[in-house]
Every structure is written in structure tokens, then in C-alpha cells.
Structure 1
Amino acid sequence: MPILVVPGALAIAPGYEHARNGLFDLYTTIGMLDRAAEQATDRGQRAYVAALNREALPPEPGETIYDGYAAQLTGDLATAHRIYKALVGQWGVAGEEPMPQWASVYVAAMIPVFEEAGDPLAETLMAKLADYVEQLGDGEWAVSAHLAAASLAALQGDDDAAVAHLSGYAATGYGGRLNVERDEVFASLHDRADFHEVIARLEADDAEDRAAILRLSSED
């Protein structure tokens, strides 16, 4: 579990922002939200944790992806749309260049918000995401590629393929139950038994990681 190296980085350099951001991502991924809140470095991260906990968000939304996620999770789609549109422009992911791997999962989460707003960016980004998934080929995929492919399938209404790709994501051992369970893209899968099997596998991996972190903490 290479992600467990991150807490050690923070111990070596407590003020190192990249280490804190890495810890934040780790803790939100595996559901240690109290610890994630402790590592939050800005309003967006604090808002995202609050949204995952179904709590009130701090005031004055910012412009980060986490601000957008928090707004989307709490149903403030107008704010999410504004933030996502600005980020798409900053990232340049709606242009002619191929979509980079790092942007694929972010873009997939944005598409339902653009669709709800009637924004033509929804169609543009859907096509870009489809091109990205198509070029993945038959080799070994990165963790995010499984999630991007699952998102695309769900957005296209192919729930069987979405669950199959989510199973591939779960098989990586990365965990991330909240990343899948709370993602609006996968709302159509919530009544499927095979989807809940994926969720159970992700939670088992999350629980293993949480236990390992607690063991490391008790040894410090």
C-alpha cells in the first residue's frame, strides 16, 4: 500500500504543502474525514470534507475543484457550474489537444453539472472523455483510467459496462468507497447488487488502510 508512505513525509517536513495535500487526498479517499479536516489547507478542502459529512459548508465559495465538488454534493449546481466552467478554461481541456490522464476523472464528475445547466461544454467534454477512454487500449491501466471508463459508461447509460469498469477499479486495491458511492455519475447504479458488491470491496480496502494508518500512528 504505497499511499501509506505519505504520513511519513509529513513527519519529516510538517510545513510541506504537497505532503499535507497528499494526506488530505488519502484521508478523504479512505473515509478518515476527521483526519482529512485536520490536513485541509484551504476553504475548498474544508468545504469538501463538510459536504462528505453532510454538514454546512463554510461561507464564500472559492474556485478550486474541491469547492466545486462541495457545491455539487450539496446540490448548489449553479455554484458548481460556475467553478467548473472556470476550471475547464484554466486547464484548457476543452480544446483540440487530447485530454490528459490527470483531468479525466475531474471532467467526468463535471459533465452532469454542465448537462443540468444546458451548457454545450457537456457534449464537448463527453466527446473528449470518450476519446481518452478509447485510446487506453488493452494494456495495464492506471487507477484513474478505470474510474474514467466507468464514469463514461455510466454517463452513456451503459450500466453493465460501468459496473465492470468499477470492478476493475476495485481490483487495483486502491479503495475509495466515498469516491464512488457519493459520485452523482454513478447514481443510476445504486439499485444494483453488483454495484454494492463493488462498494463492499472498496470499503474492505479502505478499512485495511485505516487500520494500517492507526497502527503506524500508535507506533510513533
Structure 2
Amino acid sequence: MSDGKRVLVKLSGEALIAADGYWLNPQTLTTLAADLKSAVDAGFRIAVVIGGGNVIRGAKVGAAGWIDRATADSMGMLATVMNSIALESALEAAGASARTMSAVAMPSVCETFARQPALHHLAKGRVVVLGGGTGNPFFTTDTAAVLRAIELNCDAVLKATQVDGVYSADPKTHPEATRYDVLTHDQAIQQDLKVMDTAAFALARENRLPIIVGSAHGPGAVTAILTGAAPATRVTP
């Protein structure tokens, strides 16, 4: 993928968990911030959506029955803002200009998301960290990532996973699984490859938004995927 492109990076909140189980690993955050700064330095315009699963997963809590799903999802949205402002702080410490924008208004903590200000930040070379999901319950951060990517005229979504692309089966349990270099949206649906949750993937397909799937673990992983130096699967219209 050439530089000058606008990319939304979708990160898992679980990736931030420390080895001892604490919800936030400072070293992981520092490494990730340095990687995103490298991507900006390489010429990419970067927006980020990060999940809140290291703190709470609304769907799981809601399914347990002791709290209703809408409330649990609201708690999850707040968790994503916590992760977002932590990442913003790490980015600034790494020398990258960053802004957190939340779909849930909390002006004493961060900016409220609006499309035009977000586009302005991107044009200025700032990393825009988008918290609060879509601002509504019952939608995942996958859906928020695709929605924001479309709103911000991104060229692609990079979904960071624990493996280096999309496989025909789980490579951890099926070592014979095949990794795909390129897929179409239709092929991913027909083969039920679980690129993203159903609502997110349907939105990406409808808007012909490419999705890049790769491993963002380790120093420089995001930049390596974007520059073509690391393997990844590209899901195209």
C-alpha cells in the first residue's frame, strides 16, 4: 500500500492486557505508539479505533443476565475511551501529534467526534483516536471502525489480529490451513471466513471498502503491513 493513503487501524483492546492480567500494559502501548508514529512518518494518514475488551465486553456482560445489554454496552463504550486517551498520551510521548475524539460526549476529557474536525486533524497529520464506538449500544467496535473509515474517506481498514492474515481455518488448531493473500468480499462471505462481525462486514461490502487483515504484534508491525514489508490479507470489493 503506497504512502499518502488514509487508513483506519482497528485494534483489539485485549492486546493491551499485561502478562499479569492488569488491563493495560505500558510497554505494549509504547511499542504501538512508536509503530503508529512510524506509519505517519512514512506518509500515511492514520485514524485508530480500539476496542475495550481489556476492561469489559458489553455483549458478554449483557449475556450473563445480571445487567441489561444496553447498559453493558455503554460501559464498554466508556472502556474504549479509557484506552483511547491512554493511546493518545503514548502517541504524544512518542512525538506524534494525536487527538482523541469520542462518539459519547465528554468534553472535559476529549473532543466529541464530528466529521469535519476529524478530517481537519487528519489533514494536519495528526493521529485521530476514535473512542466511544458508534455512540450506540448493540454495535461492536468493528462496526465503529468501518463506519468511521467511510465517514473519513479512508482508503482501507487495517484490522490488527493475532495472525498474519485470513486463513481457511483457525491456523492454531488446523496447521494445514491456507492463508489468503487476496480475497473479495463475496468470497469471504461465501466461505464464512469471519473477517469482521456481520454488520461491520456488510457495511464495508456495501461501500466497497477494502479491509487489510494482519498481525500487529511486535515493533513496527503496522507500518510493515502498510508498506508491504509484512504479510497480510487484502479483502477487496
With the length of structure 1 as denominator, give the TM-score of the two structures.
0.32
- Return the structure number with greater strand share: 2
TM-score normalized with structure 2 length: 0.30
> Which is bigger in relative contact order (C-alpha 8 A, separation at least 6)?
2
